[in-house]
Each structure stands twice: as C-alpha cells, then as structure tokens.
Amino acid sequence: MTGENLISAYVSDAERDAEASVRPKRLAEFIAQDRVRDQLDLLLQGAMRRGSPPDHILLSGPPGLGKTSLANIVAAELGTGIRVTSGPAIERSGDLAAILTGLAEGDVLFIDEIHRIAKPAEELLYSAMEDFRVDVVVGKGPGATAIPLDVEPFTLIGATTRSGLLTGPMRDRFGFVAHLDFYSPVELEALLHRSARILGVPITVDGAAEIAGRSRGTPRIANRLLRRVRDYAEVRADGVVNLATARSALTVYDVDGLGLDRLDRAVLTALVDSFRGGPVGLSTLAVAVGEQPDTVEEVCEPFLVRAGLLARTPRGRVATAAAWHHLGRNPPNGTFAAETAVAPDLFSVEPEQP
C-alpha cells in the first residue's frame, strides 16, 4: 500500500467512526424528511402489531441524505438484526444465497447501491422477496439440478442513487418506495446543533448557519464540515465554532460561499477559461481537470446543475452566466441562460432524476 493510500485508509476509518457517532438511532431522532419518517412509522407500527416483517423498502435519493441511517433505524425500531452489503459486492447468485440463508426470522437485509447488483443475483432475489425461497443450482449443463432452500421471512431495504437504473421487476417487488430530498439550510442548522452536542463542540447560531449554507443540502457534508471547522477552532481559535471561525476554516479547506470545493471550481474554471463557456463534451472536460468522466458527472455536476452554474445540453456542458459571475468574470453576450441566478430555495426543489 502506498503512503497516499495508507493515509486515505486512515482518514476514511476516522471519518466513518465520527460519522457513526452522530447518526440518529431512532426515527424520533431523524431530522427532516418528515413525510418519509411518517410513512415509515406507519409501516413499522402496522407490521409490529401484526407480528410480521414489514414490506420490503426501497430508499432512493442522492448520496449523503440518510439512506443507510434509515436502514439501521428500521432494524432498531423492529428490534431485529441487520445484515449490510452492497450491489457491487454481490457478483454471483451463490453469494446472495449464502447471505439470505444466513438470515434469522425478521432480520433486515440492507443492500446499498442495489441498482448495481449482478443480473443472476437479482433474479435469485425475486423469489426470495416474494416467496422466501431460493433455488440453488448445483452442477452444470444437462445434469444441473435446482435445490430449493427456504429463507426465513425478512425485510429487504434497498438503497439507490440511480433509481432509473432499477429494472421494473425489481422495483415492483418493493412494498414501500421513498425518495429522500435535499435538506433546507434550516434543517441542516438543526442537524449541526445536534451533531455538535454529541461531539462536544461549542457552536453558535451564526456558526451553524454559515456551515449549513455551504453544505449543499447534504447532512453528510454538513457533519464533515463541522468536524473540519472544529479542528480549526481548536488549533487556531478559542475552540468555539462561530461565524468568523467557520468562515476562516472553510476558506482554509477550499469550500466557498456556495459550498463549491476545489474540483467544482476547477470544472467551472476550465469551462470558462479554456472553452469560453462551452459547449464541451464530458470526456474533454474531465481531461481538462485531471479527473475521470464518472467523477465529474456523478460528483460535481448534480450540484452545479442544481445551483444554476452549469447546464447539460445536447452539444455538451455549458457554463451559465451565474458561473461566470461566481468566478468573478463578465459573461460575453449570448452566454447560455444569461439571466440564470442561484435560486434562494435551492434545496427545496425536486432533485434531477438520472
């Protein structure tokens, strides 16, 4: 393992531990997503009164909004165990059969990024979800035999950031489908105050508001920025996260007033300076910023589009007038969406579907 990879692994473990400590453990502790919380509460209460596992649950939405937390909350509310895996990790139907046959009655199986599950495993999952049975094929060719194995009644919770990639048969087998929306700044402020109490970080109202405004409507980002501002406050200030400390810390960590980081600004700068605002193809833009096309498309673009800074057109990516202004440049005449400005209710609109 290289030094860089070693550092990344260490940071990742530390981040995971810190993130786990602030995750809500019960529905009552989960901030925002009121409609989803109410629907889930009805689903779970009804199942517990009947003494049977609840219907299978599909949670969709952008990364960092609480899908994994909700899966753990469902298991906690039901008082059952939870088995966690991910779609890419299930490469063969035998892998899934081993997981399913190891579940106890009433357990929760959480599959993250379920849209990436292998096709043979997906087909095996159909019978498990409907009939609590799997057919394991032994042997190959004409002599192959299918051995039916019973599976204890369980609840599958699937999470996806790309619900459009789910097949129709898979989606139809979920009894409850919920979409998680981006958080408003007010909701993020409440979340930050809760996280600060758990982490023992003194935080002021304006300090929380400053971090919330730069968190892109995402709790995971808000908690991560809180930990970074805490570090700055403890090392270079008096330990209190206030407005001045938050602004100084986020400047050090290259997070600007809209929540754009180094890569976001690199994409916009390349569009404006190297390609005169576009249009430019995704691959060309990715090469210009030294990143993979998937990274630019899945990490940067969703927020830049929502913020009105970038537009996807049939001819390629285009910087809007708001992007030029955000970089401190005057857009030329005829710039795409010349009147585009960042909406004040940025995080209250429906997220773009893939």
Contact present, 272 and 329 (Cβ < 8 Å): yes
3-state secondary structure of 315: coil
Q: Cα(215)–Cα(74) distance, rounded to whole angstroms? A: 26
Q: Which of 23, 68, 160, 214 is catalytic?
A: 68
Dihedral angle sign, alpha carbons of residues 86, 92, 97, 98: negative
Bridge partner list, 64: none
Q: Cα(180)–Cα(201) distance, rounded to whole angstroms? A: 28
Q: Which of 155, 161, 218, 340 is catalytic?
A: 161
Q: Which of 23, 214, 216, 220 is catalytic?
A: 220
Peptide linkage before 279 cis (omega within 30 of 0): yes
Q: Cα(156)–Cα(82) distance, rounded to whole angstroms? A: 10
Q: Cα(299)–Cα(340) distance, rounded to whole angstroms? A: 22
Catalytic residue check, 68 = yes
Catalytic residue check, 2 = no
Contact present, 91 and 110 (Cβ < 8 Å): no
Which residues does 324 contact at the CB level (< 8 Å), separation at least 6? 272, 277, 330, 331, 335
Catalytic residue check, 220 = yes
Q: Which of 23, 67, 216, 306 is catalytic?
A: 67
Q: Which of 23, 107, 112, 216 is catalytic?
A: 112
239, 248, 187: which is closest to 218 by C-alpha? 187
Burial string for 103-140 (b: 16+ CB within 10 Å, else e) reads beebbbbbbbbbbbbbebbbbbbeebbeebebeeeeee
60, 56, 54: which is closest to 42 by C-alpha? 54
Q: Cα(122)–Cα(90) distance, rounded to whole angstroms? A: 9
Catalytic residue positions, numbered: 67-68, 112, 161, 220
